[in-house]
Structure 1
Amino acid sequence: MDDFYDRLPLQDAFGTLSDAECYAPLPDDWVVGAADIVGSTQAIAEGRYKTVNMIGAAVISAQINAAEGRAFPFVFGGDGAAFACPQEQAEAAKRALSAVRRWAEEEFGLSLRVALVPVAAIRKAGREVAVARYQASQGVDYAMFIGGGISWAEAQMKRGQYDLPHAPAGTQPDLTGLSCRWSQMKARNGQILSVLIQPEDGAEAAAFAALVDKVLGVVGDLERNGHPAPVDGPGTDWPPAGAEMEARATRGRLTVAKRKRQILFETFMAWVLVKTGLKVGGFDARRYARVVGENADFRKFDDGLKMTLDCDDVTAARLTEVLETARQAGLIRYGTHSQSEAMMTCIVPSIMRDDHVHFIDGATGGYTQAATQIRGAGP
């Protein structure tokens, strides 16, 4: 069994991840999987941002379940996701991608592009896929990617290359653990700012790393580096706004109505425990909420830097000034999107463990909308 990813050291300081020395190239016989929603910008304009995020997270959830406990690198992109796995896992990864593609279309009427690209093909095209593991908390680590290979694979996917077929009609992916039960998180400091920063082709790695360090210095003045989740975790309302969507994702052989009733009961009990502080069967709901915030993925390296920040207007202006100067110098392209709330989509294998993962995005399109605002080099 390939143990490449298991052997990678855990990095516990996010700022160090601007240094390419922290990363290791993926083995040449690995594959990169990618998925994104066709027409996600229009879906968001129609108010379907929770659906878009749920499908993006579903890509990862299906791969986690297909991997059967084996760790592998993945990254959430808002309207899609990317991951990598060894050749021995490729067939299972293909089936899971195809199943999510079928489910997204049948359950939500949204088309999903999916592709599986050999790392060797990425390198032949002159790009690299290198990965590091960032320990966001004691319970969770997230993959960070550099090298341009993920972006290249996604671009090829959008051109129809390395396409995978739909699974047979009626196929349900295994999305056990996928949920969206937390309330949206209102900005405490003025705005939730979604930020995408990508190096221009040919930009020197050292210069881009220096720019990232400057950016992190600016946002480092924010409370908890701009983390959108409060210290005690996101809030809970009842009934949760995402109950029906979660039911449609995780119903298995049940009807949507029956699965929704289960979710409403579970979330009502959790709401009571959070409000009262009572502990049941060793489950401490208030501690769980705190760990959710600690585990949340609000910043990442994904062939560039992506962040969802709870940000004041002064810091946002300073950040824009730094980014605009770097853009005009031909070093980066970047996009931002401001909104009043952030949202969270979760994968929770067990509430009794601390290894649950939580993806944060802006609540009105976040990363997807920021991508539409990308500005490249030039005056």
Structure 2
Amino acid sequence: MATPARSTNRFRILTMPSTVAGIAAGNAADNADFYRLLPAQTSFAEAAQGRLQADLPPDWWIVIADVADSTRAIEAGAYKDVNTVGVACIAAVVNVDRSLELPYVFGGDGATFAVPGTLREQILPALRAAQKLAREAFKLRLRVGLVRVGELSTQGFWVRLGKLRISPHVTQPVLSGRGWEEAERRVKAADASGALLVNEDDGPAEGSFEGFECRWQGVPSFNDHKLALLVAATAADAQTNLDTYGRVLQRIEAIYGDVAQYHPLRVDRLRLALRPRLLSHELQVRAQRRPPLQRLNYLARMVCGNLAGRLLFALGRDTKAVRWSRYRDELVQNSDFRKFDGMLRMVIDGSDAQAMQLEDWLEGEYRAGRLAYGTHKSRLALLTCIVQSYNGQHQHFVDGSDGGYALAARGLKQRLSRPAASPPG
């Protein structure tokens, strides 16, 4: 994931139930359930404060996947392609063993995962399949590498994990500790020292992209724009950084109002796509290697399904397969429009005046040496989805169009590279 260096906070484990602690200390087979057994927070603000986090077991691996040269691809107009590859990679890994609950974070141009050691060999062919898809269908190069958690922790790079419940059916991980940043650095280093790189030609490239869907139109702004926001606290002290994130969330609420007012998605603005161009990304992922007639049949089924969906949404009718009367409400609830992976990531709907007010405040915090940030304004919010069930178990990844998180990361990197309290030149 082409993400700038994360904050160096080291979070305390404030509470770790004995069940989780026992599994963390147990054998590798037991550790496979580590993430499933983590207690879930229900408050985003509390989750960002490091509540109920635990050290990842040493036999687990961090997986970093990102589209190389993503900025160039975005500048060439291929941002939806970049988005698609990142979510398709998530689908490939999740489908390796659906009985396991795995933590993953979508970053716009890639993804970060944690997987138990017992699953490592099984996910390698799936990761190669994602690389092959990126190359053949989208002419992109997906860079993938793995780093063992035990190696990081013995060298002082902590790897911690929490869980946030965003809806009755969906959770998302909360990452903290310098180990995630260090794993990314090793995977992207020229010599990849300390990382196991995954190369498409080194073995079987076999995986399933079942569940990957991309059937929604972009969601236009309800005000002036969608703001992709990245914030990384930069103090040396962990508690100071926690306080900084808390103040950022408070400032966002003071400027934009409650979550419902700045959420980038609204039920009445969600529209299923009918144009083949908007459905082509799912077609490429799910049917790219099929014969032409089968590809045409897949496209026709998507169009017909979306036509039927539009009608059933309007009527509020449910079927055995889909609760159409509730699906869009669930979609909004199950979206990852805000997350914490060692830094704060959000897509916010708001006005230009609100964005200016927020950026002025962030600039003051940056000049004071407390944080670095990056922003990017887009016309639309893009939705890319993984659907295990149309009745609750579906997750929707949100980013801004025309660059989103990836272009916001450029501003963040520039600020991180400057001395903390120096004014921008």
Determine if the TM-score, normalized by the shorter chain, exceeds 0.5. yes
The corresponding residue for 1:251 is 287
The equivalent residue for 2:395 is 357
**Contact 2:233-2:245 within 8 A present in 1 as well:** no
1:319 aligns with 2:358: yes
Which moved further from structure 2: 268-277 or 30-39? 268-277
* Aligned-partner Cα distance in 1 for 2:199–2:321: 45
Instruction: Tell me which residue corresponds to 1:188.
Output: 222
Match of 1:197 among 228, 231, 234: 231
Once residues 387 and 321 of structure 2 are traced to their aligned partners in structure 1, the CA distance between those partners, rounded to angstroms, is 17
User: Percentage identity across aligned positions?
Assistant: 33
Question: What is the aligned partner in structure 1 of residue 311 from structure 2?
Answer: 272
Q: How many Å apart are 1:287 and its aligned residue?
A: 1.1
Structure 2 residue runs of 5 or longer lacking an equivalent are 1-28
Pairwise CA distance, 1:272: 2.2
CA distance in structure 1 between the aligned counterparts of 2:216 and 2:161, rounded to whole angstroms: 30
Q: Paired residue for 2:323, among 281, 284, 295? A: 284
Pick closer, same or farther for the CA change 1:168–1:263 going to 2, 3 Å: farther
Report deviation, 1:198: 1.5
Moved more, 161-170 or 112-121: 161-170
Q: Would you say the 8 A contact 1:239–1:267 is kept in 2?
A: no
Contact conserved, 2:125 with 2:206, CA < 8 A, in 1?
Answer: no
Deviation, structure 1 residue 170: 9.4
Aligned position for 1:175: 209
* Residue 271 (structure 1) shift: 2.2
Which residue of structure 1 lines up, in the alignment, with residue 199 of structure 2? 165
Deviation at 1:241, TM superposition (A): 4.3
Matched, 1:226 2:259: no
Q: Classify 1:169/1:51 alpha carbon distance in 2 versus 1 (closer, same or farther; 3 Å).
A: farther
2:340 counterpart residue number: 301
Note closer, same or farther for the CA distance 1:150–1:240 as it changes in structure 2 (3 Å cut).
farther
Change (3 A) 1:253 1:102: closer
Aligned with 1:342: secondary structure? Answer: strand
- Tell me, in whole angstroms, the C-alpha distance in 1 between the residues paired with 2:362 and 2:242: 13
From 310, 320, 333, the equivalent of 2:372 is 333
Per the TM alignment, residue 321 of structure 1 is displaced from its structure 2 partner at its CA by 2.6
The CA distance in 2 between the partners of 1:341 and 1:137, in whole Å, is 24
- What is the Cα deviation at residue 275 of structure 1? 2.9
8 Å Cα contact 2:228/2:408 also seen in 1? yes
- Structure 1 regions of 5+ residues with no counterpart? none
Give 3-state SS (helix, strand or coil) of 1:242's partner.
helix
Matched residue of 2:207: which SS? coil
CA deviation map 1:244-280 (0-9, x unaligned): 2101101276333332222222222212222333333
Kindly indicate whether the alpha-carbon contact (under 8 Å) linking 1:218 and 1:318 is maintained by their aligned counterparts in 2: no
Q: SS at the partner of 1:60? A: helix
CA drift at 1:282: 5.9
Q: Which runs of structure 2 are paired with 1:150-161 in the superposition (5 Å)?
A: 150-160=180-190, 161=192
Match of 2:278 among 242, 258, 261: 242
Q: Is the 2:83–2:109 contact (alpha carbons within 8 Å) kept by the matching residues of 1?
A: yes
Amino acid at match of 2:359: T
Secondary structure of the corresponding residue to residue 78 of structure 1: coil
**Closer/same/farther in 2, CA of residues 311 and 240 from structure 1, 3 Å limit:** farther
The partner residue of 1:131 within 152, 161, 169 is 161
- Report how far residue 119 of structure 1 moved: 0.7
The corresponding residue for 1:98 is 128
Provide the rounded CA distance (Å) in 1 between the counterparts of 2:123 and 2:69: 24
Is the contact made by 1:181 and 1:240 (CA closer than 8 Å) also made in structure 2?
no
Q: What's the counterpart of residue 90 of structure 2?
A: 60
Under a length normalisation based on structure 1, what TM-score does the superposition of the two structures give? Answer: 0.93
TM-score, structure 2 normalization? 0.84
Look up the equivalent residue of 1:222 and give its one-letter code: G
CA distance in 1, matches of 2:275, 2:39: 41
Q: Using a 3 Å threshold, how does the CA distance of structure 1 residues 259 and 227 change in structure 2: closer, same or farther?
A: same
The 1:199–1:214 alpha-carbon spacing in structure 2 relative to 1, beyond 3 Å, is closer
Amino acid at match of 1:262: R
State the Cα RMSD in Å: 2.0
Of the two, which has the highest radius of gyration? 2
State whether structure 2 residue 81 is matched by structure 1 residue 51: yes
